Structure 1
């Protein structure tokens, strides 16, 4: 809320995505300003700072630049064209620092750095070129405490570390080089999260000695301390997420062989295990979510299997909510999200199959919402999308096939959105959907092939966005829906150009091909799958342009901005073996498997530049392939896990922990140090 009203971005189908306001009534819901005839808002994120709303917008002339509003048409104005021309500075993370508002932006000269404004053009200036020259320090995670703003940045010398600023050059500095040298203090594979309790900032970081642990900072070097070394030595505590309850933070962590729920009040003595759910063992705690005064999570006590648990922060108050599937099998709950004070999830009670459930945190209040497909088969609502006050999910009622459903948590409010393909045909195709511009987008098939559809939750409001491949039996098969910069991106095949990158603003005329990378009907992938990921405001995917072979590409959403990142295997037909990309959204890095024509198929990483696209390590020495990622690349704590092969141990599980490109990689039975391109290795710890 702002100024007693709700402000949000929306697309009314006429003006594109713009700034809107509502007082809760139909008559009081209006567009604040039409910044651009085709939609001016570049991001749904709105920030309140120093009495104004701040956001990134494109007026159609200057690209994405900083704007602010007082909630009126006259008071909605651009701040300054920081990057002159149509490219835009792509500002983000507006946060107050006293009377100033700080944000990150790229002026096209000094890279993406920290800026400050007093709300006027004359009072808008770069705070500090943290990484001098055209390179970017890429400040992110900006969090206000009092008159200071904390953030992560890379000065090019100390790696990505914790910084603090009051909006002035002299008042902007690195808090401490937590992980000395060029190594990073933050998990390069995780999402950067800061928590605030009182006047302290909490985060997960490493000093290079204790692994990833909980730290707190008051903005000074002396006041930046490790809260507790939960897992002694260099082994990580494997903290993957945070949830705040009252004045404490909760998280899953591992201490030796014991993995369970922990909490911290910011002191070493106050950082304790909540409950040892499995004495001496792994409780598989995960999927933490705060609902009311409790933390809900999934855990396996070794007796009942994976079931729904909750905790009030005490050992006595940590218990299994319900044994949904009696016995040792477990119901394997999948958290779909909170609706009000209740948790919506999917579970299998062993009788009706996988169905939709809801819980208020009590055994009596944990009930199946509806037996959508009567009998033991289940409707299999295994994926879900929380959209407003409802959850959307695919389900099979045993009659209509897999179609799109929604629920408000009640049986009466649970129903099929639309029977797209009557007669038992599958109307919901590949299990992918996305929330974009106030509606839900998905691949639907009305019997004439899979195309791009959207819905407002009603039967009449469930419509075809565009018939990209008209007349075909299979349709354009849209997939990999990825919202970025106020646009929905996806892969589709129009029957002429093959599978290529497309974009949509939610209208038929606004749905178009971004670029025809692959010649003719080959497309970016030909007969092979392509994966689309967003990192650092760019889209990454493997593609074959018919010249360089299958290589890593990136796109800014325009044809000229869709380019080859690096020709990893010059003159080779293929550079990729695995086509699963794993994005580090915090630092804008992608991870993939590639072959350079000399060292075989090995793990690689890229920041979107040719120089920043490097091999992590030669797992299978020489020209032999290690074939990493045949089972995919997956996140887990501080690592990216994948399978890879070498001649000594065969195909085994590998884990990568890389603070900087080319510095550290887990290979097989230990973590190995890779010295630049020399591939000099030394074992530092065991992974199992």
Structure 2
């Protein structure tokens, strides 16, 4: 669908509906008033975990809540080609949502997999090819009303990996190709009844023929594991915190042939690296003291370097003390890029890579929280534009998305924090402009600290992206790619 950006927005008289944009004011508008009148297809009182949108071979699939009003049919699966006539219902299932809002988790081979629950099956894997006939349950792994899915890891090698069980609560690593016969357990990491899963997580990175994740084998606590998708190739990388005590991981990112990861220990916030072997897994540096109470976060790769957010050794608390750092994998090469807010205060948040440039928000103490960029050097770390002039902040919340090298985001040039408008930027002050003035209200509550890209699934356009229903989504690739 070319360079079309899909998002949800609210305007007077129509509620929150599906919109699209080609990056111009004239090309930005509502696709369809799915719930006619002031009703909303994406009501704010629905808790959407993961994302309700996905790109299936150039067609947008999404869920609509029709549960409000007379004759309502509950949650429905819809599709859109970007036109009003081509935005139609695929299938209605009144019981979808019984175990939480449906979540798209994998796209491959002309179909999408999603996790949905109903009273008869609990939370299980479903599939759809965008037609009603091609939409159905993959397998009732835990027969009956019990839920089998306990952790949706992500995609690797065209298959979807997850933590699940067959009704006995022994949650282990599984994989599926979207068929019942092709849904099999990879390895019983923790023999017995307890299972090795410890809650929701996603694949950290994919690199050199394996993916990395966290599991508890009952002996070493929660530690770093890797898998190539086979039983024999699913192994513990290293018992980083020796014995039964668990390691507390924060962020992970594959950069230039190695895994970077952060932990919080009694020594403080630590940066580690791994080549996937026990001997090649080692601490790089203690970046922040224990008093900060947090590890380095928001890992991004730029020009072969790891860029991240962290407090420094002088910090006494995590809040408002973090600046931009970089690492080349050595202790000497792990340094602060720039002290944007000099002194004990810090400012950096929301790191996002677009078109080879790292964008983020920062408050330098003069201009408020605005859009910044960095190439990993002090001289190349600058404010892009003071969108809300003076000390007001235009970016008190963050919604960044790359569409073929152009950054789209939400901002408020008045500094009043609501409503937000759709903006775009090519990284220059002149090229940072408002696309359209529409009401883009932010849901209450804090945003997810890292965002799904830090959970390791592909960040390519067309992937499941975002954490809430006010998410900008591109349809600029025909199919998702595994990183």
TM-score range (shorter-chain normalised) is 0.5 to 0.7
**2:400 is equivalent to residue 582 of structure 1:** yes
Q: 1:6-85, aligned counterparts within 5 Å?
A: none
**In structure 1, C-alpha distance between the alignment counterparts of 2:147 and 2:358, rounded to whole Å:** 39
Check the 8 A contact 1:372/1:379 in 2, yes or no.
no
**In structure 1, C-alpha distance between the alignment counterparts of 2:467 and 2:80, rounded to whole Å:** 30
Sort the Cα spacing of 1:349 and 1:576 in 2 relative to 1 into closer, same or farther, 3 A.
farther
**2:67 is equivalent to residue 252 of structure 1:** no
Query: CA offset at residue 560 of structure 1?
Result: 1.7
Sort the Cα spacing of 1:602 and 1:561 in 2 relative to 1 into closer, same or farther, 3 A.
farther
Query: CA offset at residue 419 of structure 1?
Result: 1.4
Task: State the partner residue of 1:429.
Answer: 249
Query: CA offset at residue 384 of structure 1?
Result: 0.9
Aligned match of 2:216 in 383, 396, 404?
396
Query: CA offset at residue 251 of structure 1?
Result: 5.8
**2:300 is equivalent to residue 491 of structure 1:** no
Query: CA offset at residue 455 of structure 1?
Result: 1.0
**In structure 1, C-alpha distance between the alignment counterparts of 2:420 and 2:87, rounded to whole Å:** 37
Task: State the partner residue of 2:125.
Answer: 308
**2:192 is equivalent to residue 369 of structure 1:** no
- More displaced 10-residue stretch of structure 1: 314-323 or 507-516: 314-323
**In structure 1, C-alpha distance between the alignment counterparts of 2:193 and 2:413, rounded to whole Å:** 50
Query: CA offset at residue 531 of structure 1?
Result: 1.8
Check the 8 A contact 1:373/1:379 in 2, yes or no.
no
Task: State the partner residue of 2:141.
Answer: 324
Query: CA offset at residue 256 of structure 1?
Result: 9.7
Q: 1:560-599, aligned counterparts within 5 Å?
A: 560-568=379-387, 572=391, 575=393, 578-586=396-404, 588-592=406-410, 596=414, 599=416
Task: State the partner residue of 1:295.
Answer: 111
Q: 1:87-486, aligned counterparts within 5 Å?
A: 211=31, 240-243=53-56, 252=61, 259-260=76-77, 276=91, 278=93, 284=102, 286-290=104-108, 295=111, 297-300=113-116, 302=118, 303-310=120-127, 319-328=136-145, 330-332=147-149, 335-340=152-157, 342-347=159-164, 349-352=166-169, 354-360=171-177, 361-363=179-181, 365-367=183-185, 369-372=187-190, 374-376=192-194, 378-380=197-199, 382-385=201-204, 386-430=206-250, 432-445=251-264, 447-469=266-288, 477-486=295-304
SS at match of 1:531: strand
Deviation by residue 1:401-423 (Cα, 9 ceiling, x = unmatched): 43211123334332321111124
Deviation by residue 1:331-361 (Cα, 9 ceiling, x = unmatched): 3475544555753223355542653212353
**In structure 2, C-alpha distance between the alignment counterparts of 1:577 and 1:546, rounded to whole Å:** 14
Deviation by residue 1:98-140 (Cα, 9 ceiling, x = unmatched): xxxxxxxxxxxxxxxxxxxxxxxxxxxxxxxxxxxxxxxxxxx
**2:329 is equivalent to residue 506 of structure 1:** yes
**In structure 2, C-alpha distance between the alignment counterparts of 1:310 and 1:654, rounded to whole Å:** 24
Gap runs ≥5 in structure 2: 6-18, 43-50, 67-74, 316-320, 453-460, 475-483
Aligned match of 2:357 in 531, 538, 541?
538
- More displaced 10-residue stretch of structure 1: 537-546 or 414-423: 537-546
Sort the Cα spacing of 1:301 and 1:628 in 2 relative to 1 into closer, same or farther, 3 A.
closer
**In structure 2, C-alpha distance between the alignment counterparts of 1:503 and 1:603, rounded to whole Å:** 31
**In structure 2, C-alpha distance between the alignment counterparts of 1:255 and 1:606, rounded to whole Å:** 27
Q: When the two structures are superposed, what TM-score results if normalisation uses the length of structure 1?
A: 0.49
**In structure 2, C-alpha distance between the alignment counterparts of 1:242 and 1:613, rounded to whole Å:** 27
Query: CA offset at residue 562 of structure 1?
Result: 1.5
**In structure 2, C-alpha distance between the alignment counterparts of 1:477 and 1:511, rounded to whole Å:** 14
SS at match of 1:514: strand
Check the 8 A contact 2:424/2:433 in 1, yes or no.
yes
Query: CA offset at residue 296 of structure 1?
Result: 5.2
SS at match of 2:121: coil
Q: Provide the aligned C-alpha RMSD in A.
A: 5.1
**2:372 is equivalent to residue 548 of structure 1:** no
**In structure 2, C-alpha distance between the alignment counterparts of 1:520 and 1:501, rounded to whole Å:** 14
Q: When the two structures are superposed, what TM-score results if normalisation uses the length of structure 2?
A: 0.66
Q: Which has the higher contact order (CA 8 A, sep 6+)?
A: 2
SS at match of 2:287: coil
**In structure 2, C-alpha distance between the alignment counterparts of 1:641 and 1:321, rounded to whole Å:** 25
**In structure 1, C-alpha distance between the alignment counterparts of 2:393 and 2:442, rounded to whole Å:** 12
Sort the Cα spacing of 1:474 and 1:370 in 2 relative to 1 into closer, same or farther, 3 A.
farther
Sort the Cα spacing of 1:407 and 1:600 in 2 relative to 1 into closer, same or farther, 3 A.
closer
SS at match of 1:532: strand
SS at match of 2:213: strand
Task: State the partner residue of 2:10.
Answer: none
Deviation by residue 1:305-325 (Cα, 9 ceiling, x = unmatched): 442234688866654232123
Sort the Cα spacing of 1:367 and 1:473 in 2 relative to 1 into closer, same or farther, 3 A.
same
Query: CA offset at residue 590 of structure 1?
Result: 4.6
- More displaced 10-residue stretch of structure 1: 409-418 or 602-611: 602-611
SS at match of 2:330: coil
Task: State the partner residue of 1:177.
Answer: none
Task: State the partner residue of 1:632.
Answer: 447
Sort the Cα spacing of 1:493 and 1:284 in 2 relative to 1 into closer, same or farther, 3 A.
closer
**In structure 2, C-alpha distance between the alignment counterparts of 1:559 and 1:315, rounded to whole Å:** 54
Deviation by residue 1:507-551 (Cα, 9 ceiling, x = unmatched): 3343332111111222225xxxx2211233332223232333444
Query: CA offset at residue 462 of structure 1?
Result: 0.6
SS at match of 2:187: strand
Aligned residue pairs, count: 414
